[in-house]
Amino acid sequence: MLKFVVRRSALAVLAIVVVMFVLHIGVFYLGDPFASEDEKVVPPKVRDALRAKFGLDEPFHVRFLIYLKNLFTGDLGIDFDQRRPVADMLAATVPNSLLLAVLAIAISTVIGVVAGVVAAVWRDSFIDTLITTGAVVLMCIPLFVLATALRRQLTGLELFGTEIFPSLPRRFGEDVPRYKEVLLPAISLAAADLVFVARLMRTSMLEVLGADYLRTARAKGISERRVLFKHGVRNAIIPVVNHMGIAVGILMGGTVIVETIFQYNGVGFLFLRAILANNRPIIMGVTAYAAIVFIVVIALVDMLSAYLDPRIRLN
């Protein structure tokens, strides 16, 4: 297991360097990232300072090394509008996107896994048909339509005089509890993802239920519940774990559509505002952060999969 972890970590580091190299070329060689454009005017002194910080007056290899050094030391430049460090702006939004990602994946995984197992165990029954039909219907609804519908119907909802979901748009200076603010965006993302989790778990569970080692376990007199959950679900859930890792890696990088619809102060909403304002330092910082997070999360998922299934370590 240790050799697998070391090998997978080395591949992750190599992938990060390669991705940063491509990003470096895209940002610094396809136009000046600090030039004034349209209504965005960058003062000459600020432009010169930024060019010096990122080594734009140095040879190519020196520029890239400076870029990596700044990146891994957390120096992502200064925001054009507020003159704040980009790292500080990311630090203020990353926890919000992380909370949203974890809650959405937790909801979709719990519901999706249970639905997939039930559909597989009672295959071709009314319950299986109901779950499959519901999944197909939900799959046909675009995410932005679902999120918009939830915003229109549920924001400002009160139950017994208590506001369940906060109203949108928010009033200036209104303080909303974190759990209320994140719940509707998380439900939107979870609804879009649990369909895939349920279908994936059902398919994987059906393959496992026909495996020889499950028939052997039953022949030994092991109870059906233990056969299903200890031997069946543990092996069938490996594809779901891989999907969870990919989904978390993507969601931690920000979800532009959902965060914008619900005015959620996450990385995706920050990225959209930076694009609309042509704020290059924030665009660069968010892109680099999202790429690194995705690569690291995928590496951790591979390690977890290898722990659950020792056969993966041998490949």
Q: How high is the pLDDT of residue 140? A: 81
pLDDT in tens, 269-298: 888 888 887 777 788 788 888 888 888 888
The rounded distance, in Å, linking the Cα atoms of 256 and 235 is 34
Domain map (residue ranges) of the chain: 2-72, 86-314
Question: Is pLDDT at 39 greater than 80 in this prediction?
Answer: no
- pLDDT tens readout for residues 104-134: 888 888 888 888 888 887 887 888 888 888 8
The answer to whether 128 touches 119, Cβ cutoff 8 Å, is: yes
> 311: which residues sit within 8 A by CB, 6+ positions away?
none
- Residue type present at position 238: I
CA distance 53 to 86: 14
Supply φ then ψ for residue 78, to 5 degrees: -115, 135
The span from the CA of 208 to the CA of 186, in Å, is 31
DSSP helix/strand/coil, 309: coil
Start-end of H helices in the chain: 2-28, 44-53, 60-72, 86-121, 126-139, 143-154, 178-209, 212-219, 224-226, 234-236, 238-252, 256-261, 267-276, 280-308
What is the rounded distance in angstroms from the CA atom of residue 241 to the CA atom of residue 243? 5
The span from the CA of 111 to the CA of 197, in Å, is 9
Q: What is the pLDDT of residue 170?
A: 67
Average pLDDT value for residue range 57-73: 77
76 has pLDDT over 70: yes
The per-residue pLDDT for range 247-273, each reduced to its tens digit, is 777 777 657 888 888 888 888 888 888
Q: Is the pTM of this model over 0.85?
A: no
At residue 177, what are phi and psi to the nearest 5 degrees? -55, 145
Q: Which residue has the higher pLDDT, 190 or 23?
A: 190
Question: For 169-211, what is each residue's pLDDT tens digit?
Answer: 666 656 666 777 888 888 888 887 888 888 888 888 877 776 6
3-state secondary structure of 270: helix
Query: Each residue of 221-253: pLDDT tens digit?
Result: 666 666 676 666 777 777 787 777 777 777 776
- Which residues are 7's β-sheet partners? none
Q: Are 193 and 112 in contact (CB under 8 A)?
A: yes
82-99 pLDDT per residue, tens:
778 888 888 888 888 888
- The top-level CATH class assigned to 86-314 is mainly alpha
Give the type of residue at 95.
P
Under DSSP, is residue 234 helix (H, G, I), strand (E, B) or coil? helix
- Separation of alpha carbons 189 and 108, rounded Å: 8
Averaged pLDDT of the chain:
77
